Structure 1
């Protein structure tokens, strides 16, 4: 993962997943505002588990890249079977991918075997995946003390929001804002990973006074002085602030755009009650009905409720 492709590829995966969730949550809320209930994943009409299948495929590719394709020997171990220091990061990144793979696979099994409890348990699995991601990025084997460390520190703040909103969604499944913020935090995580990939491994985009340096088999950004380091970190903070504003503007604009196409479902039903001519012995009752309603036919429109 310590390369441009290693950050950009998972960044696009998180971005696509976040946009998919953001679209579906907004659509579901616009159509059923009163009966809205969040969903940890969204099926499609043709392939029900396409979202979960794609998560499993992406996680498998990530694990393969980290452990078998990326290393020069195409295997991550030393000749004596131990893990070399320069491959610790690969194992940490693959552990994150393994957790997301387990989330998707177990979500499918829960949907097939325990549909009544699948929402809470699937949300719990999602929280475990984000907690694993936060733990391994926070206790990363790489130093991450310089510019790269600042990027990873701010990335952890987005992961914290993902984790918190996922846990909150277990107890408050009808809260649209929790699902909205969780989807947006996944989008932001993807955008930030993409930015990290380009800003840390594109020589022309590295901050003034800093250069790419090979360290323990990985290229890292090193600054020539404390002043250059402080300047580079300040620029990272500015980038985070700008992207936070842009993503927030995008989210509200996206909501207003979808509001033009999806409207609350309100259905009406026509109930017609015809009074048949009664026997001669019931003429008095019929005359009372006619005097009360003014007509022997009464057509009523019944509103079935906004949140149907």
Structure 2
């Protein structure tokens, strides 16, 4: 039950941080908040930053506390029991350092004004440490939990590359949205892992074997059961990814509808016509070759003149 609680708290915290990551979305598009003043928009941008650092600080403190608790309650009969919590504590310490550095550098009176690029670099290292933990965490080669951990590497990689892109382009919108999507996918997948590992929602003919709080594995009875359990894990991840895409498209459509059109929409043609205001005339006369042929035949072809006056400059 303690494992389910840990995974649930981590999943909900990642979802909360992803929502906080989306809060500056309106400030990145000034047209969404054109009626607000610059001072109010700057203060609102400081508020998401403060909420982001406080939420990541709370999550890292809880993770560090859980790792230390697992270390002190580790079993002396299991050689892996003390080492696994310490590896998780390393990643939690990096996230804690990132959160404290961000809080100390918050305006209007920063105690230690760290540049944003340095904070994003710390965050990149923290995500990299998290990636190494789940990439190397193979207590049992045949354990089904390894498939879940391998799939978790996908949103972690998305967070790493998007944060690196934020360092290169601090004011770019797509990498921040990609990082929010990676955080949200991590949150939902942590919830899925908690329910799949520690409840009856686990695959049929498979069960968990716990040696301690941090050392556990999921074994199945037959080779076919292992294949089915891995296939179920992949299907679950695809469902989570599809849900994230549907929710993201829905939120984007709602924002664009509230904005009142498509980003960078076209201007009406009549406005450009009215801006021209230049009247031009041109004449379409009969060709000289046609006149020569008409005179040779002994009859005179009337000259056709068409005067066109348009307002659009043609």
Query: Structure 1 residue 174: deviation in Å?
Result: 2.9
Larger RCO: 1 or 2 (CA < 8 Å, sep 6+): 1
Query: Structure 1 residue 98: deviation in Å?
Result: 1.2
In the alignment, structure 1 residue 212 sits paired with structure 2 residue 213? no
CA separation of 1:216 and 1:114: change in aligned 2, threshold 3 A? closer
Counterpart residue number, 2:94: 99
Query: Structure 1 residue 212: deviation in Å?
Result: 2.1
Q: Any conservation in 1 of the 2:13–2:55 contact (CA below 8 Å)?
A: no
Distance 2:187 2:141 in 1: 19
Which secondary structure does the structure 2 equivalent of 1:184 belong to?
A: helix
Counterpart residue number, 2:241: 244
Query: Structure 1 residue 43: deviation in Å?
Result: 2.8
Counterpart residue number, 1:30: 29
Aligned Cα RMSD in Å? 2.9
In the alignment, structure 1 residue 196 sits paired with structure 2 residue 193? yes
Match of 1:87 among 60, 77, 82: 82
Which secondary structure does the structure 2 equivalent of 1:239 belong to?
A: helix
Q: Any conservation in 2 of the 1:10–1:190 contact (CA below 8 Å)?
A: yes
Distance 2:120 2:91 in 1: 17
Q: Any conservation in 2 of the 1:43–1:51 contact (CA below 8 Å)?
A: no
In the alignment, structure 1 residue 173 sits paired with structure 2 residue 176? no
Q: Mind listing any 5+ residue stretches in structure 2 that lack a counterpart?
A: 33-41, 262-314
Match of 1:221 among 218, 226, 240: 218
Q: Any conservation in 2 of the 1:14–1:190 contact (CA below 8 Å)?
A: yes
Distance 2:220 2:232 in 1: 13
Distance 2:142 2:122 in 1: 31
Equivalent runs, 1:1-308 vs 2, <5 Å? 3-25=3-25, 27-31=26-30, 43-44=46-47, 49-68=50-69, 70=70, 74=72, 84-111=79-106, 112=110, 118-140=115-137, 142-143=139-140, 145-202=142-199, 204-215=200-211, 218-261=215-258
Distance 2:204 2:258 in 1: 47
Which secondary structure does the structure 1 equivalent of 2:207 belong to?
A: strand
